[in-house]
Amino acid sequence: MNKNIPIISRYILGLIFLVFGVAGLFNLIPPPPNMPEGLMTFMSGLMASKYFFPLLKLTESVCGLLLLINVAPALILVILAPITLNIVCVHLFLTPGIENLVMPVFILILHLLTAKKYWPVYRPLFDRN
């Protein structure tokens, strides 16, 4: 694998999480006009909790920034893993149409390409003790 691929994917992934995290914190992107009912229910639940959505977007913003400046990227990828998985699952199960999976799958691929570089760090987590 080209040694620049994980670096480029880390920058793109960091930029995506920083931009969408900040946009979510400050409500800079309006919600889609025709949100499916299941997605609307899910998002309403997140918003009703009062703390979860801001915490999620703050986490995305900080982690995106840390990826961009290359601070503890192996740890940041572990923190972002459940967020990435949730992004994919929400779009897979709550939004109809294959076209809604383009960005989530792109994020997942970037995440995996970046994480592959840190496999030696993650490997001990999967050893049997």
Chain segment 30-43, per-residue pLDDT in tens? 888 888 999 999 99
Read off the pTM. 0.93
Q: Does 63 have pLDDT greater than 70?
A: yes
Q: How far apart are CA 5 and CA 91, in angstroms?
A: 26
Structural domain contains residue 125: no
Region 79-106 average pLDDT: 96
Domain presence at residue 129: no
Residue 124, in any domain of the structure: no
Is the pLDDT confidence value at 1 over 60? no
More confident residue, 107 or 96: 107
Report yes or no on 127 lying in a domain: no
Q: pLDDT at position 64, please?
A: 99
**What is the residue range of 62's domain?**
5-118
Question: What are the CA-CA distances from residue 111 to residues 25, 77, 82, 93 (Å)?
Answer: 22, 7, 11, 20
Considering its fold, how many domains does the chain have in total?
1
Question: What does each C-alpha distance from 94 to 37, 87, 89, 102 come to in angstroms?
Answer: 8, 10, 8, 14
